[in-house]
Structure 1
Amino acid sequence: MVERVIVAVDGGPASRAALDWALARAEDVPLSLELTTVVELGWSPVGGPEDDFQPVYERALAEATRFVAQNVPAVKATGVVRRGVPVDELVRASSAADLLVIGTNKTSALAGAVHGTLPLRLAAHAHSAVVVVPAGWVAGGDRVVVGIEDDGTMDAPLDVAAAEATRRAVPLELVHAWSIPATLGVDYGAAVPFDALIEAHEDILARALERVRAQHPAVDASATLVQGAAAPALVEAAGRAALLVVGTHGRGAVAGLILGSVSHDVLLNMPCPVVVVPRSRPTAESQRSGAPE
């Protein structure tokens, strides 16, 4: 099956990283590549009407398309200019994609807060999986890391992570973090049922590992249980990874809040590309044909 990949282009170093990531993927994954830029209606970073700035977007898109044609001629890339609110247009485009790839500048907490907004909103609302690639990305890493949630919504991220580990011929590390529930209160530490709490989280991780080994027996999978906050645990584990895979609970305002509870911190400190996978992950083909998810 040919994978449909959309890359958001704006001419900056972050979008170049996103394009580089997609082209690296094209080396061993059959894909169709759409390069897209969004001209935001009624807004221009130079203070004039959007029509005054549209040629800049179009030039960036043309340069990216030309780069692909000259350097990776086996990949056929099409360029599309969209007009509207960037997040809305990209979410709409994702309905016909398998992957939506976007770059991010995460050079500091402030930069991450500003430039990370669009990736976060896309990850919360997109129909497809969203790949967020840090500016300056270079290929590397010796594993794929996947975050395991504790609410039973792990299937889609696990499948994506296992497929990526298989494709890259690298191990898969499952990471699950746990902490003492705030409702127990810090003053009642002696009453916390540590053994039962640890056992419950060990069981979550064991079931996830069992699922991977049953459905993806060729994958060299391992599991790591960490006491502490999820985001720092994932960031630390992903420091030696080629890819970090996390899940989200779907689309909509509530989903955005759920996503942000962990992924916001991950995207501010991401050491490698991050794939955010919705709970239900239809393929582009199924969405075009109306097939059930």
Structure 2
Amino acid sequence: MTTVLPAATATAPSAQRSEPMLVAMRDPAADRTAVEWAAARAAALDAPLTVLHAIADPSLMPPGRLYGDEVIGGRVMVGREASRVAHRHPGLRVSTYLHCGDVVEALLGLSTAAPMIVVGADRKDPATGEYKGSVALQVALNSATAVAVVPPSYGYGTVSGQARGGVVVGVDGSDMSHAALMRAAEEAHAAGMALTVVTALGSSPQRMAIGASPMLLDVRTRYPDLLVSWIVDELHTPVEALELYGTGSDLLVIGRHGSGARSAMSLGSVTHTLLLEPPCPTLVLTRRELEPSGNGPTPAEERMTVP
């Protein structure tokens, strides 16, 4: 079942943001898609972008290698990548950050100030099928800010013969999914895109019956011109539904935990599965989105405010 909220049109991008988005470039070839997506997103939002690259700690260097050469090589590589995206997106403010040590530690250390961290999806070994590390999962679990995970083969596509695009969000009636909905609405509004809200089989009917109307009202109140479609999928599991509607979209927004979360110390099962092979750039929200704001602005509104 699909519901389209009435009297809505796509809107223009929002006001300029001052905090830089952060994108990790572990390998120029493997992470180029993530860098490209981050640059395009930053340009669309008129936000600055920082390209981060990490080189191994000196204690982990093989014998006979000069660490100074590694530092110089890292600076050249990240500088070249920053220059490339700046050339592709005139007017984009790009800076670089070279970290000596673990890339996860670098990203987490900077996550308190960044409005978003962008990383490439964790890669598989083509021979064994095993994942090479778990950078995306570790950052998504521990970051203080939202984390976007970009698949290496990301591109626009079609589903069931229909062109897709815009922002998709999964909602199951939990507080985290409410926060995900509002962040998805903010992202769609800022980029001038439509928003698709997906509720799949497995969500609590009672919780959704109580929470759906207030959530819709919140979206309409904050973003009266936003085009919103609400899909209730009774045929697929949450993972299947979000993979289906996320494929070919510009962004999928999910919470770090859903309504069935057992622990705050781990990713929810739906989130964990989607991040292993994300159907499109997937934005994972953190607890910062749930922090109470009293009578003041919400975290989303604070990010949208220009000093």
| 1:137-286 map, 5 Å | 137-138=154-155, 141-179=164-202, 198-227=205-234, 228-248=236-256, 254-257=263-266, 259-281=267-289
- Please tell me whether residue 118 in structure 1 is matched to residue 135 in structure 2: yes
The residue identity in structure 1 corresponding to 2:134 is T
Distance 2:24 2:128 in 1: 18
Deviation at 1:6, TM superposition (A): 1.0
The residue identity in structure 1 corresponding to 2:233 is V
Q: Which runs of 5+ in 2 are unaligned?
A: 1-16, 158-163, 258-262, 292-298
Contact 1:175–1:224 (8 Å) recurs in 2: yes
Contact 1:123–1:130 (8 Å) recurs in 2: yes
The residue identity in structure 1 corresponding to 2:280 is C
Distance 1:105 1:85, change over 3 A: closer
SS of the residue aligned with 1:241? coil
TM-score, with structure 2 as normaliser: 0.73
Distance 1:13 1:50 in 2: 24
Offset from partner CA, 1:207-232 (integer Å, 9 cap, x none): 43332223222112222223453222
Q: CA RMSD in A?
A: 3.4
The residue identity in structure 1 corresponding to 2:118 is V
| Partner in structure 1 of residue 18 of structure 2 | 2
SS of the residue aligned with 2:44? coil
Distance 1:150 1:112 in 2: 35
* Corresponding residue pairs, total: 267
Between 236-245 and 222-231, the greater mean CA deviation after superposition: 222-231
% identical equivalent positions: 28
- Please tell me whether residue 85 in structure 1 is matched to residue 102 in structure 2: yes
Distance 1:113 1:145, change over 3 A: farther
SS of the residue aligned with 1:28? helix
Distance 1:74 1:200, change over 3 A: closer
Distance 1:214 1:173, change over 3 A: same
Deviating beyond 4 angstroms after TM superposition, the runs of 4 or more aligned structure 1 residues are 46-50, 52-56, 105-113
Larger helix proportion, structure 1 or 2? 1
- Please tell me whether residue 17 in structure 1 is matched to residue 33 in structure 2: yes
TM-score, with structure 1 as normaliser: 0.76
Deviation at 1:245, TM superposition (A): 0.3
| Partner in structure 1 of residue 111 of structure 2 | 94
Offset from partner CA, 1:160-212 (integer Å, 9 cap, x none): 211222233332111123439xxxxxxxxxxxxxxxx6344344444433322
Distance 1:64 1:162 in 2: 31
The residue identity in structure 2 corresponding to 1:117 is S
Contact 2:156–2:249 (8 Å) recurs in 1: no
Distance 1:225 1:49, change over 3 A: farther
Deviation at 1:83, TM superposition (A): 1.8
Distance 1:233 1:59, change over 3 A: same
Distance 2:64 2:233 in 1: 51
